[in-house]
Structures are given as structure tokens and as C-alpha cells.
Amino acid sequence: MRPTCVRLLLLALTAAAAVAETADTDQTCASPVLPDVSDTTWGDEPHVLVTGGAGYIGSHTVLLLLEAGYQVTVVDNLVNSNPESLNRVAELTGKGDHLKFFNLDTADGPGLAHLLGAMPSPPILCIHFAGLKAVGESTQIPLLYYGNNVGGTVVLLEELQKAGVRRIIFSSSATVYGNAVAPITEDSPVGQGITNAYGRSKYVIEEILNDFAKSPNGQEWGMVILRYFNPVGAHPSGRIGEDPSGKPNNLMPFVSQVAVGRRPHLSVYGDDYDTPDGTGVRDYIHVMDLAEGHLAALRLLEKQPVGTHTVNLGTGSGYSVLDMVAAMKSSCECEVPYKIEARRPGDLATVYAATDKAKELLGWTAKLDLKTMCDDLWRWQSTNPQGYGELAAYPRGA
Ligand SMILES: NC(=O)c1ccc[n+]([C@@H]2O[C@H](COP(=O)([O-])OP(=O)(O)OC[C@H]3O[C@@H](n4cnc5c(N)ncnc54)[C@H](O)[C@@H]3O)[C@@H](O)[C@H]2O)c1
């Protein structure tokens, strides 16, 4: 299939997943619309390409990149985000002139080629956040997840290679560990017991990166695969945060929406696990710590431009669902009603990271505690009860 056709196929898959495999994609492949780069100029500062940079983790990382003096170009198709996040990043940093945004799909090879070709020199590195991440949805429309996450990454790698970019930081997930036993080290088994297409798409991308790294072209590359545990919280200003479209898939956005009155109660799946209070235990990490982890990975690649590293980003501590509910109640000074439901198939009792490798290799450890995670999340949720609201333009008024 031609890469330009992938996005159109993905859209077809969303609308009609059941019949998409038989769609005649070539008939739908009109000439691609190339990104308009006519008014864009890039400065001399080191320049980072960020896919998925309008999203939750991406926007917080873009903020830190700008604060650290990098120029940033965001590529995002807005399938799960609102560029208002970038307007607010520009406001918070005062560096909107260093931040460019293009509404572009990572599977759009000609679009990426056009954009990268317009830059005076290749970005020093790509941070690749773009991906679909709803675990439940991925079991219903797995082809969309493989097409978007895996297909989009392959096209991106091809275009980066052609454009002379040789370094990438990839957003992977603790999900790749499947049913591995905590504390989970980077050497714990991966790819076994993964129960959904989302997790397997991350595992497949890791395998692709590792295969590519061994190839003649790939041997010139520096790659850091970051396996995130459970990102929560928001920027301390409360101006940017997680804005899930529809029903949240992760615990804390759901808890905060219950706290703010958008949802009547939280469902807690299982209270008979072998954990202190019977509910599932996970490793929650503040999104600002996570974003700092990307800067640490970037600095590693600046020092060691070649080679592949895989690193956990977690705190090394676990909190139960009821711990998280109690912490949010304390931050919001409100009730968070919940109901105990049956366990969900595939859920594990306890998952938390071993963090030694992140400390040794990246010189990075998570610093922010549970109270800060919930206070910051509540500041974002209570001042933006409907998230970013209507879809905005970046820059505003454009
Ligand atoms: N949030 C988590 O709990 C978590 C945990 C582990 C890993 N991750 C991974 O981290 C990355 C960022 O997660 P997030 O929580 O910020 O999610 P997010 O949905 O907020 O951000 C992802 C961004 O990618 C964009 N996107 C998706 N597909 C795209 C495509 N084909 N082309 C261009 N843009 C595209 C979306 O519009 C969105 O802005 C994802 O790859 C996710 O799988 C997230």
C-alpha cells in the first residue's frame, strides 16, 4: 500500500472496521494535501521534531523543550488532542515563536517529506509520541491500532532516514511487559501475556526499532525506547493537562471527572486482589517527571548519538486504586463516589517499575509525590472542567 493511502484507510477503518480489510484503497487516494510551509521560518537553535506533541504527555514535554532552549516542530493529526494545548504552552513559556505546529499524520509520507525538506537543517532528534492509546478500543478495532501506531511509525522512520534525522525517542509502555512480575526491570520478559492490540502495537514497534537498529542504516541511529508506567497529574499552573475525548480509559482522568461532577461514580474493578486493600496497585508517575525523563533521554543522545537503549520511566512505588481515590479526595476536598465491580480479565494485581536503569543511564529519577500529582491534576480539572473545550487553532486566530 502506498503510504499516502494509509490515513485514508485508517479513516475508513474507523467508520467501518468490519469491512475495511476489503476496501479498495487505491480508488480513495487522491493527491495528498501537503503542509503549508510557505510562512514558516526556523531559527538557529537546536530543533526537535515532536509527533503527537499536542497531546497529554507531548504538550508537557514540548513546554520543557522550549524552556530548555530548543525549537520545536509539532506534527499531530489532532485525532485525540486540541492545539489549544500548544497555545497555552506558548503562553506559559513566552516562546511561541520557537514552536511550530502542523496538522499532519505520521503515516503521511509525502507530507512529512515536504515539511522536513523545508527545514534549513534536519531536526537533531524526533520524539515520537503520536499513537492511539485506548486499550479497550484497540480490542474492538485492532487494525486501526496496528495501522496507526505501527504503520505510522514505519513511515515516520523512512522519512526521518531520508531527511537525515538519526535520533529518536519512542513512547512505549509498561504494557509490553504483559504479565511480568513486579518489580519490573528492563530485562523482564516482554511480549508475553499482552491482552490487547494497543500493547502489542507498542511491542511490535519496539521490535521494529530493534531490527532497524541492527541494519546498515539503523547502525547510524541513536534510539531511546521509554516504557512509561502510569502518567498522571498536570503542569503546576493548571493550564495544561490531560483532556481525554469521551470516556477516559485511565484511572485518574476518570477519578478527576467524578470529583468535578462530570461522572456520577468510579467503577473499581476487583477488591479481592492480593494487595493491602484488595484493589489493583500501579506505579503512577507525575507527567512533569515523565517529561523531564524525555529531556534526560535527549541529553543522553546528544552525548552518545549512536546505539539503542530501553528504559523504564516510573517511580518504583505502587499505589492502589483506593489510595488514589483517597489522595484525590484530599486534593479536591470533595467526595469521589465509587462502586466495586467484578475484576476485568487480564488485569494484574500489582505492577511497578524497577528504576535503577533510568537513574544510572539517564541520571533521572521521579521527584514528585502522590499529593503533588493529585493537587496538580485537580488544579487542571477544576479550572478546566470541560478540558480545552472547542477545537482551537494554533496559533490562536490562525
Ligand atoms: N498516557 C498514558 O497512560 C501512556 C502510557 C504509556 C504510553 N503512552 C504512550 O505515550 C504516547 C503519548 O500518550 P498521551 O497520553 O500523551 O496520549 P495523547 O492521545 O494525549 O497524545 C497522542 C497524540 O498523538 C496524536 N496522534 C495519534 N495518532 C497520530 C498520527 N497517526 N499522526 C499524528 N498524530 C497522531 C493524537 O492526536 C494526540 O495528540 C502515546 O504513544 C501513548 O501510547 C501513554
Does ligand 1 have an atom closer than 6 angstroms to the CB of 298? no
Greatest C-alpha distance within the chain: 60
pLDDT on residue 246: 85
Does ligand 1 have an atom closer than 6 angstroms to the CB of 233? no
Q: Is the pTM of this model over 0.85?
A: yes
- Closest-CA residue, ligand 1 atom 42, reads 133
Ligand 1 pocket: which of 81, 159, 224, 288 to mutate (most atoms <8 Å of CB)?
A: 81
Please state the separation of Cα 65 from the chain's center in Å: 16
CA distances from 233 to 11, 290, 366, 379 (A): 31, 10, 13, 9
Q: Is 346 exposed, middle or buried (0-12, 13-18, 19+ CB in 10 A)?
A: middle
> Which residue in 354, 307, 293 sits closest to 209, CA to CA?
307
Is the CATH code 3.40.920.10 the one for domain 3-20+44-383? no
Does ligand 1 have an atom closer than 6 angstroms to the CB of 128? no
Distance 251 CA to ligand 1 centre (A): 16
Instruction: Report the nearest atom of ligand 1 relative to the CA of 54.
Output: 39
What pLDDT, in 10s, does the model give residues 206-245? 999 999 999 999 999 999 999 999 999 999 999 999 998 8
Distance 149 CA to ligand 1 centre (A): 9
> Above 70 in pLDDT, residue 123?
yes
Distance 52 CA to ligand 1 centre (A): 6
Per the CB < 8 A criterion, the answer to whether 285 and 328 are in contact is no
Q: Is 145 a catalytic residue?
A: no
Does ligand 1 have an atom closer than 6 angstroms to the CB of 129? yes
- Helices 152-163 and 109-118 cross at an angle (nearest 10°) of 30
> Above 90 in pLDDT, residue 317?
yes
pLDDT on residue 346: 85
What pLDDT, in 10s, does the model give residues 332-343? 999 999 999 999
Per the CB < 8 A criterion, the answer to whether 8 and 63 are in contact is no
pLDDT on residue 7: 46
Residues facing 302 on adjacent strands: none
The phi, psi pair for 8, rounded to 5°, reads -65, -35
Question: Which of 14-18, 172-176, 374-378 is least confident?
Answer: 14-18
Instruction: Report the nearest atom of ligand 1 relative to the CA of 80.
Output: 37
Q: Is 345 exposed, middle or buried (0-12, 13-18, 19+ CB in 10 A)?
A: exposed
Distance 99 CA to ligand 1 centre (A): 19
Residues facing 128 on adjacent strands: 51, 170
Per the CB < 8 A criterion, the answer to whether 190 and 146 are in contact is no
> Above 90 in pLDDT, residue 177?
yes
CA atoms within 13 A on the CB side of 309: 22
Does ligand 1 have an atom closer than 6 angstroms to the CB of 231? yes
Range 2-21 average pLDDT = 39
What cell was used for 78? Answer: 489532532
Ligand 1 pocket: which of 59, 133, 157, 230 to mutate (most atoms <8 Å of CB)?
A: 133
> Above 90 in pLDDT, residue 397?
no
Per the CB < 8 A criterion, the answer to whether 118 and 159 are in contact is no
The one catalytic residue among 56, 70, 177, 198: 198
The H or E element containing residue 85 is: helix 84-93
Does ligand 1 have an atom closer than 6 angstroms to the CB of 250? yes
Question: Which of 23-27, 193-197, 305-309 is least confident?
Answer: 23-27
